[in-house]
DNA sequence: GTGCTACGTTGGCCAAACCAACGTTGGTTT
DNA sequence: AAACCAACGTTGGTTTGGCCAACGTAGCAC
């Protein structure tokens, strides 16, 4: 018995479409991640990673660094602050801003998320060799470099 | 004056993450597409392309080909049927199924969507040479080939 | 001081990707 | 033949992401 592969192929028009492919890869990543953690933790990871790498940031700066909307950053920070993973305090130098800082809990949470993310990443890229992974990363980076991260 | 590039870089943890990059590329594609057409037309395009390439299909088959949920396929078909772009009729051979067919209007609509899609594709891939585009397509295809298109 | 801009916040919109459940129908098993 | 299970289309709902609009406050340039 040939163990028939019952996975029908998508139309050629779509298979050749980078935006379609990227979308599939993206939702695949979300699916793999969701098997291990609450899906919304992806956004937490991004924000915490930015804080860890750049030090304290204002909410608007976080948004610019990550290509996220100010409003959405606010929501993520509400979650994180409630769980004591970030601190939020008005900037004495510019009282429009909030200075967001990483707490000890936040750092521990970030480490945990990093582990899961690494595993997911490896699952996602199973089919690719190390060289191919580097190629893919470089190509995507080059593609993204030509565009503004934010809409407006 | 060096014309300071005021685009802050995302953290390295994310820049090296294929799933993050893919997500960014995906939303970028959506943004570019939305500038030309209603965003939901992307899904229409996928369904119409499947019908054009494979001929009449059942709703479940469409979902399998495109890696979409049955429920979502249903919604897309409701839109398309209302605008006379597809026909939906019970399959005489298996009365559980609906046979979905492409109409003349649907074919014309597909051609229009293809044009916009081509333009968007080119905008998205601006930074990449023809060879690089082929490489990217191949790598993404290889990555996707190792995974089931549907969750369950 | 007057305007302009940036900031955080609230609230809402739309689309994608799911999941659960139902009634109908087809095939299989017994 | 009856009982069972699986597939199909449909309805309805949840969560998340990516937006946009508007507000009040605060800084800044003129």
Going from N- to C-terminal start, the domains of chain A cover 38-145
Strands (E), A1-119: 57-58, 86-90, 98-102
- The answer to whether the Cβ–Cβ distance between A22 and B22 falls below 8 Å is yes
Distance (Å, whole) CA A82 – CA A87 = 9
**What is the rounded average pLDDT of the residues B100-113?**
98
Q: A18-34 and A104-124 helices cross at what angle (nearest 10)?
A: 120
The pLDDT tens digits for A34-88 are 999 999 999 999 999 999 999 999 999 999 999 999 999 999 999 999 999 999 9
**What is the rounded average pLDDT of the residues B117-124?**
98
Distance A44 CA to C23 C1' (A): 42
Which pLDDT does position B5 carry in this prediction? 57
* B60 in A contact zone (CB under 8 Å): no
Give the chain A residue whose CA is nearest to the CA of B10. A65
Distance (Å, whole) CA A34 – CA A29 = 8
Structure tokens at A40: 């919304």
Which pLDDT does position B22 carry in this prediction? 98
Mean pLDDT of chain B: 95
Contact by Cβ (8 Å): A46, A95: no
Which pLDDT does position A6 carry in this prediction? 64
CA angle B136, B141, B145 (to 5 degrees): 155
Asked whether this complex has an ipTM greater than 0.95, the answer is no
The pLDDT tens digits for B48-105 are 999 999 999 999 999 999 999 999 999 999 999 999 999 999 999 999 999 999 999 9
Band (pLDDT 50/70/90 cuts) for residue B2 is very low
The closest CB to that of B121, out of A18, A46, A128, belongs to: A18
Report whether pLDDT(B136) > 80: yes
Which 3 state secondary structure label does DSSP give B43?
Answer: helix
Q: Which residue has the higher pLDDT, A26 or B4?
A: A26
Q: How far from B94 is each of A105, A136, B89, B91, B99, CA to CA, in Å?
A: 58, 45, 11, 5, 10
Contact by Cβ (8 Å): A17, B121: yes
Lowest mean pLDDT among A6-10, A68-72, A93-97: A6-10
Strands (E), chain B: 57-58, 86-90, 98-102
Distance A4 CA to D4 C1' (A): 26
**What is the rounded average pLDDT of the residues A123-138?**
98
- Give B64 to chain A, closest Cα distance, Å: 7
**What is the rounded average pLDDT of the residues A86-99?**
96
Give the chain A residue whose CA is nearest to the CA of B30. A19
Contact by Cβ (8 Å): B152, B71: no
- The answer to whether the Cβ–Cβ distance between B124 and A18 falls below 8 Å is yes
Give the chain B residue whose CA is nearest to the CA of A18. B137
The string over A101-118, giving b where at least 16 C-beta atoms fall within 10 Å of a residue's C-beta and e elsewhere, is ebbeebeebbeebeebbe
Q: Please state, for a pLDDT cut of 70, what percent of chain A lies above it.
A: 96
Closest CA to A112 of A85, A72, A77, A75: A85
Positions of chain D reached by protein Cβ under 7 A = 7-13, 15-21, 24-28
Q: Which of A117, A147, A150, A152 to mutate to test the interface with B (most CBs of B within 10 A)?
A: A147
Which pLDDT does position A7 carry in this prediction? 79
Report whether pLDDT(B4) > 70: no
Residues 6+ apart with CB under 8 A from A149: A64, A66, A67, B7, B10, B24
Q: Taking the C-alpha atoms of A45, A117, A128 and B25 in order, what is their torsion angle to the nearest 10 degrees?
A: -20
Distance B50 CA to D1 C1' (A): 42
Positions of chain C reached by protein Cβ under 7 A = 6-12, 14-20, 23-27
Distance (Å, whole) CA B53 – CA B33 = 22
Contact by Cβ (8 Å): A137, B137: no
Residues of A in contact with B53 (CB under 8 A): 11-13
**What is the rounded average pLDDT of the residues B136-144?**
98
Report whether pLDDT(B40) > 90: yes
* B92 burial via Cβ count (<10 Å: 0-12, 13-18, 19+): exposed
The string over B97-128, giving b where at least 16 C-beta atoms fall within 10 Å of a residue's C-beta and e elsewhere, is bbbbebbeebeebbeebeebbeebbebbbeeb
Taking the alpha carbons at both ends of chain A, their separation in whole angstroms is 56
Mean pLDDT of chain A: 95
Distance (Å, whole) CA B43 – CA B49 = 10
Q: Tell me the CATH class for A38-145.
A: mainly alpha
Q: Which residue has the higher pLDDT, A136 or B9?
A: A136
């Amino acid at each position: 018995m040939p163990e028939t592969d019952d996975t029908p192929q998508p139309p050629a028009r779509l298979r050749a479409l980078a935006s379609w492919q990227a979308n599939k890869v993206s939702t695949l990543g979300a699916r793999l991640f969701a098997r291990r953690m609450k899906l919304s933790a992806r956004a937490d990871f991004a924000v915490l990673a930015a804080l860890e790498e750049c030090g304290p940031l204002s909410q608007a700066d976080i948004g610019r660094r990550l290509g996220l909307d100010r409003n959405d950053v606010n929501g993520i920070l509400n979650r994180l602050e409630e769980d004591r993973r970030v601190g939020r305090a008005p900037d004495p130098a510019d009282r429009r801003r909030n200075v967001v800082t990483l707490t000890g809990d936040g750092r521990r949470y970030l480490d945990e998320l990093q582990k899961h993310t690494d595993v997911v990443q490896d699952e996602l890229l199973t089919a690719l060799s190390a060289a191919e992974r580097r190629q893919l990363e470089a190509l995507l980076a080059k593609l993204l470099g030509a565009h503004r991260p934010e809409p407006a």
